[in-house]
Structure 1
């Protein structure tokens, strides 16, 4: 080989070696590449994004993908504003853990905003798109977030908890269809400079914003009511288009903390510490500036009156002790005769009206002492002020108002129920739960109901009938199509029973786990439908009922199915009102309990979400939450299944064999994504039920269930029909 050939070959080899890092070894982290591949596919593989690809591989950093900025091997910014992009965002963006700015504003992207957004964002801009549904709860965990813009979309619900967003400076939620009151957690936005809420349907007051260091606030064209807090009157405020109250705001009730951004002045002893910030009254301004509120002045005046009256009493008593006239003695002992110096209760009331907000406790004490001629209190605390009257006073007993039940809730007798259940025969036993046994009851008119006989361990037999009726009245108020309806109750002879609507198809537990039901297995669509209906029931208890109701006992045995396989959540509210419910539930954990419950014994909305995730796992796998017949590594369903939920191959092997492979792969994967969120070990990372409902609604819509109504949970459609 000639010298020239050798040199040429050497140069060729060097070129190959030199080029190797750029086209053989990818410069981008594999998880980032995978997330962008999925995102590109979800956006319908737009031609505007040159070099992007939906297939596995590609090199966003090494190939300089459009709109992508990298640092080392990690993607740090994605800026694709105004490119006419369509489709959705996909559900893998949470892998982009190094992305700090995500801007896809001014496009045509739509669908629900995904839970899976880059978790460590400082700037998130999705404005001017066509996103629907809810502002996702996952934003609540973005503690570095400084800028959030979701304006000009079609969002209907604000599911963000702002408690941790203390770095957020600019918040723009304008021009959506957001409803309801502003969440109390917005008071945590201690760095907020500008908030834009205009052109929505918000209602309630804006008091929650009063303490924020705002410079710009736009609330125009909403349904806000009440008054503008004084602390917000000095900023750039736009408020037209709201039914706000005009004129000076009324004074706050006694004890209300001041609403302004300056340090709170210390209240005088016995006085009220509340003030209105910039009060419309000049006199109240002056008193506030002096450091003594109106309540403080009232306390001082009243204290002086009391001291003066007591001194006068002692002087009078000393003077009278020197006299022997019987008339003087009679006057001293007669409590109806006013002393030389007295202030009647009515006079005191008039003076109190002139002095704003005296403390209620002090007023009561003063009225009592004055009505007894201001006699000094004896040494013994519980002795009467009137030392001459040794007759014991009867305590004042306030009669508890009678509990009024809805007209549709019937009071049954024990005799009625004994006849209907054949004296609570074993043949009519439907099941046994944490709080008692449930029996099938058939009445003379042909009506069939379910009777739950509450154990004495849950509700002692000496419980008063009125107390039990009060519990029943609370349960009777629950009204939702996916919550089991209460028909009546019985409280006689130490027995306490609740009577519910009866569902002939039994429980979800029966369908999934009893061998005799194998002839009519649930196909995929009814399983998603059952999950959605149950989620809606929990959303109602958590987010519609006020105060919120924690169910505490979510399990497949408490999900009853009607003839059309619609789910109905039973025992709703029961565990919240029974006195020993927590103790009993902790003794009977069947694999549904959240980790924090097993540690503390305390239940919450988030522990309900976890239990619901376990039920979804039952629907997915057909397995029980805890099964001691399996190998040790597979006994706990959550522990066994959770690591496999994001592995599509493993997921396929986990699916209930009763489905016989007839399920849509995409729907299965999204179903698993929701499960993974619900059963997270940290309660704060679990989504609210409203977000779970939205995700399941999408699955139901895509499954197009109306086309598959053959038999009970059976059908002839193949897997391709579910896409």
Structure 2
């Protein structure tokens, strides 16, 4: 009897365990079935949302994960929609997009699509969203405060729209935010102080709006901030002294506002600051020491700044201090700044004024006459040189007009039969056929310059030497009136031997082909090198070039006349 009771108890336990296992198995299977159904439902919702948005444009909706601009995760759920990946959608209203159908969306970039309407508050359902870019559209209305619920956001860019209203102070809750771009809208009101709580913010752009009030002092807490643009608003007050804590700041633009007070001295100690624009405000006082040393671009024009220009000058490439009340002398280091404008101030004229472009000094006291130890020597030398050239020109003109050309060149014979050509060469290695072959019969590919009467070609002759060929245009070469000028140019150049005048290697006279063979100059003409500052600097001349700048044109004209004596014959 006892054994029978024990067996019955064991049987009941076995039945209980089996039943319990079956229940657990059914529960797991049911959960999996529900999960699959849920995923399937979610995917169906995403497809429906894309269809309803009108963005399909004939695409196969069943293959939406393969669309350019859409990225899905391993489960087939959309995690990215980006027009930056060449995903085009037709203009529509943003409210037609069902945000709730995309619970796994991480990146939403719909820029430059002519989207209209407002930003729906339902955007807050994208709880995993990290990148939101709706810039360059036609969006209107106010910024929804619900965006503040997207605490995973690293980037928010709604610039270049028609948004109005104020910047929600709740944006200060976006603790992960690194970039906030709201520029070029119609936003108004003060800048929320709570934006200064965004510890990871690297770029803040609020320019081209109608913001007013002062700059929050809390901005001094943005230790990771690299770029701050608040220009073109109605901001008043002073620049917070707390800006001296922005050690990572590289670019600061506060221009075109109503900012007053002085420039905090701490800004001059920001060693990473390279671009500073606080022009068109009402700032006064001195320029902080260090600004012109650390920055490469400085724009401080149209203020009320006073005092002297700091003497410590770094690698400045752009400096505009115009329309202020600055005084004193001009630091010598400013001579190396490529762009400089210090006009309309009260600088004391001294020898440092010399060498600056006149337009950079307009509106200051009259500058003294610039002189240098080279000026007298240079002017005397130039006068003598010009006289020499002019005298030589008239001598050559006389020779060309009153003296007959030598028969050794065969010029008179050409006038009789019109078919004589001559080649003169100092080493006998240049021949007519070599010139034609080297230029492929003067193909345009070898042309390096064209003038009113001819073109210049570059050619390499069999000896390996590069030569320059000045060939008259066909119309001129067939015109008898140009023959005499050409002949006299040959006459003069064959007799000249001077290290500063290019050498004539040879010439060709033919009724359908006239050309001169010159020594080839790698750096081009003197006129080209003097006309372009960069090329002139490579000549490695001293500051005497500045002294003769106004006179070099006369020398060039004389040189041209000397080399073309009969081009002005009466």
Q: What TM-score results when the alignment is normalised by the length of structure 1?
A: 0.28
Q: Which has the higher contact order (CA 8 A, sep 6+)?
A: 1
TM-score normalised by L of structure 2: 0.35
